[in-house]
Structure 1
Amino acid sequence: MQHVRIWLNRNYATAVHLLDMLRHNPDGVPVELFGSHADLSSPMLAGVDHKLREPVVTDPDFVDQMLDLCRQHRIDVLLPVAGQSQIAHRASDFASIGTALICPPADAVDLLADKADTYQALAGSKLVPPWRVARSGPQFDAAIVDLDELWTRSHPLIMKPTRGVGADGVRFLTRAAPDLTSLLGPIGPLVWVQTVRDAIAAAAEHVPDLMLMPYLPGPETSVDVLAHRGRTLAAIPRTKSGRHRVLGGDPRLPGLASELVERFDLDGLVNVQFRLFNDEPALLEINSRPSGGLFQTALTGVNLPWAAVQLALGRDPGPLHPRLGTEFVSVSSVVPLTQVAAGVASSFAGTKPLEVAAAD
């Protein structure tokens, strides 16, 4: 196989590790890696051969700009994270210029972007914990009443936006106002329920959909899945409890993740997150994009990003047999921004090499 041109647009900082996995793919295929990000200090740009201008997602011609860049740089495979929905809706346009997408169908991307829509689509499933959505003060109070028996000191109610990434906006509700001891302690996600009521009242008609649900105890398991037209080719669970991590966990979860992949006809690299409710698996969310921790699956001996590229190009990635059981912890590392990949020629017009300020 000749070399493959791959573009990752704005992504997690940990995407720098995915780029490394692509560069050192098991088939030894030469790759030319492109990256773009609104923040020129993003670590992911340290792993690419060419930096591209990151189109602004809110621009009306965002997708047209993406298409132009793919055409200009003869991109073979695009892994979109920012603007995934807009790009997915124009998948045929990318195919017409020879650019394959690592991305689920647009309908699935749109549905899974909203946690309430996801739960509603799975109504009646044992995987769905109790939940309510509030868009006003009265609805918020009604949700509190409905879920009150599940609200204990050790298991508070959780509030989060139905649309959000990771833990953004996740808050643990408290019945009492914070005392001085809690105010002087570590910053945390606790918020007094009356504070939420006041904020909703102040926002008036501009309240986003807020999901309320009981706290789901851990451990939390994130299942990274490589899917092809609703069929799971590999499902690798990563379970965390505090700092401790293990590649594995509840043996039921990969199968449950596969059922969800089939239910929503998913494709590419996706992620399914589980916790527990009444000691049984409960779904947190399904992400239509690769997880920030996907690179950790390399410890199983399987290169999921490269297998996804193979699939996107219409090739058989071969058998994928992850070795589970590895225990690990994650730590921060240093990524020198002044050394992009060896032999790099920047494609970011008028941009100087990335620089970092000297430490004090």
Structure 2
Amino acid sequence: MRGLREIDGVTIIGCDRRQVNAGRPFCDRFYQISSVHDEDQYILDIQRIVQEENVDLVFPSLHEEIDIYHRRRGEIPSRSIAPVTQSVNRMTDKGEAYAFMEAHGMKKHIPRYTLFHTNEELRKALMRFSDTRYTVAKDTNAHGALGFALLTDKEGYLQALSEGKKSVVWEEDYAAIPHHGRKMLMEYLAGQEYSVDMYLHRGKACAVIPRRRSGVASGIVLDGVVVEDQQLMKLAEEVGTLFMTDGFLNLQFMEQDGEYLLTDLNPRFCGSQIMSLGAGVNFPEIALRCSLDGECPEISPKWNTRMVRYRDQFFMEENGKDPFPEQLAENLSIPGSKE
């Protein structure tokens, strides 16, 4: 929304299942809609808003929305920046993503991993990582820090417990929990972490912006630098164009022994792409230009721009009335808001 508010002539129509939410002050108008888990009613709500407001472009931002817009794109009477791809599941399920990369000769760019479905399979899988102090466990379709656990032996767990590291789990405790569905074990990578924001249009990358992640808490980037890394940019473009032809994509890598290993794919606008905006690359504007004008705009990144994030807040009066009158966005002091 910060990126959209910087574009002249853009009207932001916000939607959320909650009436009170942190994004509403950035909107010109707002609608409370059904949850994505009530999919049919959610689609009806979006259809109504698109028609009433004559919406030109929809920005789905939730992980769950990506699959809905892929499957039911034809039911929304407006364009959207949801990814154009042959398979969304291939992008949101890391097991599928890694298998697809292996089949296309990119095995050296994925970590060592194995899949499991049951507790018995988990115990066998743990034996394959007996040569490492830590092993990463996660759901194959999780995003952010959801479902993440760092497994270790009892000695490592007790040390982590004394140091207040909450994500470290004794592997015996983890193996005692009933496990169903598909999950994965992955080698623990201790190198430098990077994210790459990119926008694809007609099978080509309009913008590829790497970010070195210096401080991360609960999956949220608090400190980082936009860097010009040609090796990483080239790899990100190869990975991105392998999976999709159009839309925004965030890729996450870990550097190890001079190589970059892919750890996550996010085919949606992620919160940390605000770093790219700070470096002069407005991805929401790129999405608008590509979708409505059919052309990629030129960009001039300010390399080595550093972001340090902090929490902010706004206040409202709880008096039984709508806490967000139409004029609220103008009255609040919001970075990026127009005078």
**CA distance in structure 1 between the aligned counterparts of 2:314 and 2:236, rounded to whole angstroms:** 33
Letter of the structure 1 residue corresponding to residue 58 of structure 2: L
Letter of the structure 2 residue corresponding to residue 160 of structure 1: K
**CA distance in structure 1 between the aligned counterparts of 2:155 and 2:43, rounded to whole angstroms:** 47
Equivalent of 2:122, from 132, 140, 145? 140
Give the C-alpha shift of residue 164 in structure 1.
1.1
Give the C-alpha shift of residue 312 in structure 1.
1.4
Which structure 2 residue ranges, 5 or more long, are not aligned? 216-221, 318-322, 330-339
Q: Give the CA RMSD over aligned residues.
A: 2.4
Question: What secondary structure sits across from 2:293 in the alignment?
Answer: coil
Letter of the structure 2 residue corresponding to residue 188 of structure 1: K
The answer for the alignment partner of 1:9 in structure 2 is none
Equivalent of 1:186, from 151, 161, 164? 164
Q: State the number of aligned residues.
A: 312
The answer for the alignment partner of 1:91 in structure 2 is 73
**CA distance in structure 2 between the aligned counterparts of 1:43 and 1:256, rounded to whole angstroms:** 35
The answer for the alignment partner of 1:231 in structure 2 is 204
The answer for the alignment partner of 1:79 in structure 2 is 59
Which structure 1 residue ranges, 5 or more long, are not aligned? 1-18, 346-360
Give the C-alpha shift of residue 158 in structure 1.
0.5
Residues 179 and 110 (structure 1), Cα distance of their counterparts in 2 relative to 1, 3 Å cut: closer
The answer for the alignment partner of 2:187 in structure 1 is 214
- In 1, are the aligned partners of 2:199 and 2:249 still within 8 Å (CA)? yes
The answer for the alignment partner of 2:154 in structure 1 is 176
- In 2, are the aligned partners of 1:301 and 1:323 still within 8 Å (CA)? yes
Letter of the structure 2 residue corresponding to residue 190 of structure 1: V
**CA distance in structure 2 between the aligned counterparts of 1:63 and 1:107, rounded to whole angstroms:** 22
- In 1, are the aligned partners of 2:289 and 2:297 still within 8 Å (CA)? no
**CA distance in structure 1 between the aligned counterparts of 2:59 and 2:276, rounded to whole angstroms:** 18
The answer for the alignment partner of 1:46 in structure 2 is 25
Give the C-alpha shift of residue 93 in structure 1.
3.0
The answer for the alignment partner of 1:350 in structure 2 is none
- For 1:38-79, what per-residue CA distance to the aligned partner results, in whole angstroms no more than 9, with x for missing partners? 333321112101111222212241323322221222211101
Give the C-alpha shift of residue 218 in structure 1.
3.0
Give the C-alpha shift of residue 106 in structure 1.
5.3
The answer for the alignment partner of 1:302 in structure 2 is 281
Residues 318 and 167 (structure 1), Cα distance of their counterparts in 2 relative to 1, 3 Å cut: same
Equivalent of 2:46, from 53, 66, 72? 66
- In 2, are the aligned partners of 1:55 and 1:66 still within 8 Å (CA)? no
Equivalent of 1:110, from 86, 89, 97? 89
Further displaced range: 253-262 or 56-65: 56-65
- In 1, are the aligned partners of 2:14 and 2:31 still within 8 Å (CA)? yes
What fraction of aligned residue pairs are identical, expressed as a percent? 25
Question: What secondary structure sits across from 2:58 in the alignment?
Answer: strand
Q: What TM-score, normalized by structure 2, do the two folds share?
A: 0.84
- In 2, are the aligned partners of 1:33 and 1:48 still within 8 Å (CA)? yes
- In 2, are the aligned partners of 1:244 and 1:327 still within 8 Å (CA)? yes
Q: What TM-score, normalized by structure 1, do the two folds share?
A: 0.79
Does residue 120 of the first structure (1) align with residue 93 of the second (2)? no
**CA distance in structure 2 between the aligned counterparts of 1:41 and 1:188, rounded to whole angstroms:** 31
**CA distance in structure 1 between the aligned counterparts of 2:58 and 2:246, rounded to whole angstroms:** 14
Question: What secondary structure sits across from 1:237 in the alignment?
Answer: strand
**CA distance in structure 2 between the aligned counterparts of 1:276 and 1:224, rounded to whole angstroms:** 17
Hey, which bits of structure 1, 4+ residues long, moved more than 3 A? 177-185, 335-345
The answer for the alignment partner of 1:321 in structure 2 is 300
- In 2, are the aligned partners of 1:47 and 1:340 still within 8 Å (CA)? no
Letter of the structure 2 residue corresponding to residue 264 of structure 1: F
Does residue 21 of the first structure (1) align with residue 6 of the second (2)? no
